[in-house]
Amino acid sequence: MTQRTTVTTPALPGKEAKALVRALAAGDVTVFVDGTALRLPPAARDAVLDLLGRLAAGDSVSVSSASAEPAPSPVHNPLLTTSQAAAAAGISHTYLRNLTDAGVIPVEYRGTHRRIRMSDIESWLHAQRAAAAAKAAGHATPEFSGGTDT
């Protein structure tokens, strides 16, 4: 059983709350994790903006986890370099970069270096295999069926 904790942050002092209000009004929200800019998925972005908006309004905020599942361990879901991720997926580095640029495979940046979670590579491979199986099962094209045209 995983132990859950709730963290409560007191209301910000007036000066800090006003500075936060100005920053949020500017609309330029960038999240840095260990000095690296991180683009949040829409749901995470909305949650963070909601939290910051409440703090800016002078509210105290409590945060707790609603998930019954434990967070994945970094040991079981490591960040891979592009070389490692391409090798794991069996694709070229160029194709992998194109997939991350297109948003098909999520990517995190450490400075200017791309890092990709193993679980994201596994998910992409699973989707590729499922698509190939569906295509093989569902498509018998007439030009390749051995029949003749009349």
Kindly report the pTM of this predicted structure.
0.45
145 DSSP assignment: T
> 61 is written with which tokens?
């905020």
Range list of β-strands (E), 50-127: 61-63, 79-80, 108-110, 113-117
User: What band does 121 get if pLDDT is binned at 50, 70 and 90?
Assistant: very high
Average pLDDT over residues 48-77: 72
Q: What is the pLDDT of residue 28?
A: 62
| pLDDT score, position 144 | 45
> Is residue 91 over pLDDT 90?
yes
The mean per-residue pLDDT over the stretch 27-44 comes to 73
